[in-house]
Amino acid sequence: MWQLKKAFFRTYQSVFKIAMCAFDWSEPELLEGEGAIERLPAFIKTKGLKKVLIVTDKGLTSLHLLDGLYAKLEEDGIEYAVYDGTQPNPTIQNIEDARQMYVDNGCEGVIAFGGGSPMDCAKIAAARVTNPKKSVKKMRGLLKVTHKLPPFFAVPTTAGTGSEVTLAAVVSDPETQEKNACNSPYLRPKYAVLDPALTIGLPPHITSTTGMDALTHAVEAYIGRSNVKSTEMYAEKAVKLIFENLETAYADGKNIDARMNMLKASYYAGMAFTRAYVGYVHAIGHNFGGQYHIPHGLAMAVILPHVLEYYGESAYPRLAKLAVISGVKTDGTDAEKAVAFIEAIKTMNKNMNIPDGFEQIQEKDLGIIVERALKEANPLYPVPKIMDKADCEKVIRGMMR
């Protein structure tokens, strides 16, 4: 029976890979470089928009990180409303509140300003505007968003999620303690701003964990079975940039070149995984977030080496290539290079004070976490090696502290 299930999973993934060819995977129109955010209002004006909703969070507004954007919008005659109630894991209520503000203020477009949470909140709120008869819960899963968003401008302030190019958004349901992904090509932003100055003030622990989130996107996409030439290229670029720049950005947060390179790495990783998909690191991590409110980037950093070790030989050839590309190890067998790459990830985590497990994980929760993680991953995620319940539980137990 299990063999039949695995065969079905692989068939599903193969069909889905072919189906993905029908969608538009062109890159968004970019404004990039230091000070790029100041060019955004004039750019928005060229699209004929007169009023926009800015979706962000209170942490960013309290830091006055948007003050320059506000001033430029006013200078260019563009009105704006601000929704800053986004929580670290955006809830259905956050999304509905943002949507209502958009409607009440007669907005014509959306600026998503922040990390993954404001991005996700803004995407689904915008989707609710153009898909008014479909509730957030009915948007969960694949291809449930069926109408394009209003004009959408993504401004990442962390170098990690890659949300400015992805077809995904994750929503939390406090009632069930679940985090559910919504996946649709209509959720991909058409416009994005990559301004390293917006990331200068990131605390070291946010720099490290969001950077490891980007690495996870690139690695999971690269070792999966749904790659095409473009996703391989994007993933390779991302991994190289992360190994060359993440620890520098962590240690010297004002290094503008390292910050810019990390934004590009996150962007490339996003381009890779939004088409080639992720794997069990994300499936387990989403459920750690839903159950224990563990920040997504931190979950990715901790889980990544554990899952790569589970994959073992099935991932060695691809991980060996990444070992060479990243400069971790250029000689030896595939197995030796792959193991060295995994160890390099562990070392990077250690150098940036990221733990190797979590004290929050409770024995009583294992069953539901395993069930939900496998429900998310199978049959969709084209992983190198398919987990069953025993495999998943063993991996999670390896992280219990």
Residue 241 forms part of a structural domain:
yes
- Two tokens at 38? 């100041």
**Interatomic CA distance for residues 156 and 197, integer angstroms:** 11
**Interatomic CA distance for residues 214 and 15, integer angstroms:** 27
Residue 28 forms part of a structural domain:
no
Same domain, 248 and 262: yes
**Interatomic CA distance for residues 140 and 68, integer angstroms:** 35
For residue 41, what is the enclosing H or E element?
A: helix 40-46
Q: Residues with Cβ < 8 Å from 13, sequence gap 6 or more?
A: 225, 226, 379, 380, 381, 382
The residue from 183, 199, 215 where one domain ends is 199
Provide the pLDDT for residue 182: 92
- Two tokens at 64? 């006055």
**Interatomic CA distance for residues 204 and 351, integer angstroms:** 12
Same domain, 177 and 278: no
Which residue shows structure tokens 């006013």? Answer: 74
**Is residue 69 a contact partner of residue 41, using CB atoms and an 8 Å limit?**
yes
Provide the pLDDT for residue 87: 92
Provide the pLDDT for residue 40: 98
- Two tokens at 303? 């889980």
Same domain, 193 and 158: yes
Residue 278's CATH number? 1.20.1090.10
By the 10 Å C-beta count (0-12 exposed, 13-18 middle, 19+ buried), 378 is classed as: buried
- Two tokens at 388? 């069953």
Same domain, 147 and 241: no
Residue 160 forms part of a structural domain:
yes
Residue 180 forms part of a structural domain:
yes
Same domain, 265 and 179: no
Provide the pLDDT for residue 180: 80
Residue 20 burial (CB count, 10 A): 17
Residue 37 forms part of a structural domain:
yes
**Is residue 136 a contact partner of residue 245, using CB atoms and an 8 Å limit?**
no
Same domain, 131 and 263: no
Provide the pLDDT for residue 303: 98
Q: Which of 373, 189, 374, 382 is nearest to 278 (CA)?
A: 382
Q: What is the β-pairing status of strands 79-83 and 168-173?
A: unpaired
The DSSP-derived string for 59-125 is HHHHTTTTHHHHHHHHHTT-EEEEE-B--SS-BHHHHHHHHHHHHHTT--EEEEEESHHHHHHHHHH
Residue 71's CATH number? 3.40.50.1970
**Is residue 328 a contact partner of residue 341, using CB atoms and an 8 Å limit?**
yes
With the CA atoms of 310, 316, 321 and 325 taken in that order, what torsion angle do they form, in degrees rounded to the nearest 10?
Answer: 40
Same domain, 162 and 214: no
**Interatomic CA distance for residues 52 and 75, integer angstroms:** 14
Same domain, 143 and 110: yes
Residue 27 forms part of a structural domain:
no
**Interatomic CA distance for residues 63 and 382, integer angstroms:** 40
pTM of the model as a whole = 0.95
Q: What is the β-pairing status of strands 152-156 and 191-194?
A: parallel
Same domain, 311 and 241: yes
Residue 252 forms part of a structural domain:
yes
The residue from 167, 199, 231 where one domain ends is 199
**Interatomic CA distance for residues 357 and 69, integer angstroms:** 39
Residuewise pLDDT in 10s, the chain (401 residues): 899 999 999 999 999 999 999 998 999 999 999 999 999 999 999 999 999 999 999 999 998 999 999 999 999 999 999 999 999 889 999 999 999 999 999 999 999 999 999 999 999 999 999 999 999 999 998 899 999 999 999 999 999 999 999 999 988 888 887 878 899 999 999 999 999 999 998 999 999 999 999 999 999 999 999 999 999 999 999 999 999 999 999 999 999 999 999 999 999 999 999 999 999 999 999 999 989 999 999 999 999 999 999 999 999 999 999 999 999 999 999 999 999 999 999 999 999 999 999 999 999 999 999 999 999 999 999 999 999 999 999 999 999 99
Residue 120 burial (CB count, 10 A): 31
Q: Which of 22, 232, 65 is nearest to 157 (CA)?
A: 65
**Is residue 55 a contact partner of residue 149, using CB atoms and an 8 Å limit?**
no
Residue 242 forms part of a structural domain:
yes
DSSP E strand boundaries for 22-72: 29-32, 51-55
Same domain, 137 and 276: no
- Two tokens at 321? 């290539």
Residue 4 burial (CB count, 10 A): 8
Provide the pLDDT for residue 138: 93
Q: Which of 388, 332, 399, 319 is nearest to 365 (CA)?
A: 399
Q: What is the β-pairing status of strands 141-142 and 168-173?
A: unpaired
**Is residue 96 a contact partner of residue 132, using CB atoms and an 8 Å limit?**
no
Same domain, 148 and 220: no
Same domain, 299 and 189: no
What is the side-by-side strand order in the sheet with 29-32? Answer: 29-32, 191-194, 152-156, 109-114, 51-55, 79-83
How many distinct structural domains can be found in the chain?
2
**Which residues span the domain enclosing 251?**
2-18+205-397
Provide the pLDDT for residue 33: 97
The residue from 165, 199, 233 where one domain ends is 199
- Two tokens at 4? 């039949």
- Two tokens at 201? 């003030």
